[in-house]
Amino acid sequence: MKITKNKSLQELNTFGVDLYTDQYIEIDTIEELTEIYNQKVFNKKFLILGGGSNTLFVNNFQGTVIHPNILGREILNEDTKTVTIKVGAGENWEEIVLWTVEQNYLGLQNLTNIPGDCGASPIQNIGAYGVEIKDFLLSVEYFDIQTGIIKNISNKNCNFAYRDSIFKHELKNRALITSITFKLKKWEDDLAIPKEFLKYKGITDILEKKYEKPYTIKMVFDAVNDIRNDKLPRVGEYGSCGSTFANPLISKDKYQELLKEYPDLPSYDTNMKNIVKIPAAYILDKLGWKNRKVGKCGTWVRHPLIVTNYENASGKEIYDLICTIQKDFLDNTGITLNTEINIIF
C-alpha cells in the first residue's frame, strides 16, 4: 500500500489536468482494501480511480483518491473450444487485449486501443466496432464498500446497456471492482473470423486493402488499431478521454424528424422497440465542431466527439467547453447530448 498526501493528479488522468487530491492511496491486495475499510477511509469523501482515462477533474479533489492496483491473470478453465480468464482490476486493458490476440483467443480484438485499466471496463460496458465487454464477461468480483465483503455479480445482474451498467447506478460508490472474469473462444488461423466482428465498413475497407481472406484475429486487431490511431489523439501527446459524448438513443419518430435537417444521418439498430442510435459526431461535424479550438482546449482535428486539452487547459475550461457543445447540440436537435466520461467536481 502506498499513501501520499497532497498528491498531484496530472499524471493520473489522461486529460492531463493539473489538480491535486488531499490523499492518494494505491492498493495492491484485497487485504489492503480490508485494512483501509477498517480504518474508516470509506466513511469520508473518496473516489475510486483506475487508469484515469474516463475522468475529468474540474477542481482539486478534497478527499481520498483510491487506486486499485490489483494485478494478475489466471486461466480458470479451458477445453478444446473455450477459455475462461480471470484478470485483476489493475491490469492494463490494452495489454490484456494484445495478450488474448497473441493466444489466438477470439472476442476482444475489436476492443483494442482503449486506454484504461481492466476494472473500469464493466462500469462503462466499453464497446467499439460492434463489440461490447458484456458480450464476453461472465462475472465481476468487487469489494463491497458498505460491508467490507468480497462479492461476485454475474453478467446478467450487471444490468448492462449502451455505455451503462449497475456500477453507474445501484452500486455506484459501493463497489470497488477487484477482478473480472470473461470467456473467449479458441480460434485457428485458417478459420475466417465470424461476420459479427466485421460489421463496420471501416474495418472491412482496411482488411480488403491490406490482406487476403480468410481474415484472422490479428488482422482485425491491426485494422482497429489503424482506425483508432488515425482518428484519435495519442495518449500522452494530447490530453483527452477519447470519446467525450455518448451517441444518443432516440425514437424512430424523432429520427425521421432529424432527417429533414440532416438527410444523410445514419441510424443503428438497438434491439429496443422503436429506438435507434444515431452518431452524434455526424451532427456535431455539421455544426462545425470538428477541429475547433476554444481557448486552450477544443475538439480533435479528426473527430468532434473528442474534447481535447491542447495547451494545459484547466478542468474548468474543459468542462465549460463540454457544456457549450451540449447546449449547441440541444438547441439544434432538441436532444440532450450525454457525456460518457465521469466528471468530478
Q: Which residues are catalytic?
A: 163, 243, 340
- The CA distance from 49 to 329, in Å, is 30
Q: Is 144 exposed, middle or buried (0-12, 13-18, 19+ CB in 10 A)?
A: middle
Contact (CB, 8 A) for 31 and 14: no
CB count in 10 Å sphere of residue 204:
15
- The CA distance from 184 to 130, in Å, is 16
CB count in 10 Å sphere of residue 86:
17
- The CA distance from 145 to 142, in Å, is 9
The alpha-helical segments, DSSP class H, found in 105-185 are 121-124
Contacts of 40 (CB under 8 A, 6+ apart): none
Contacts of 1 (CB under 8 A, 6+ apart): 25, 26, 27, 28, 32, 35, 36
- The CA distance from 95 to 74, in Å, is 14
CB count in 10 Å sphere of residue 286:
15
- The CA distance from 252 to 255, in Å, is 5
Contact (CB, 8 A) for 282 and 219: no
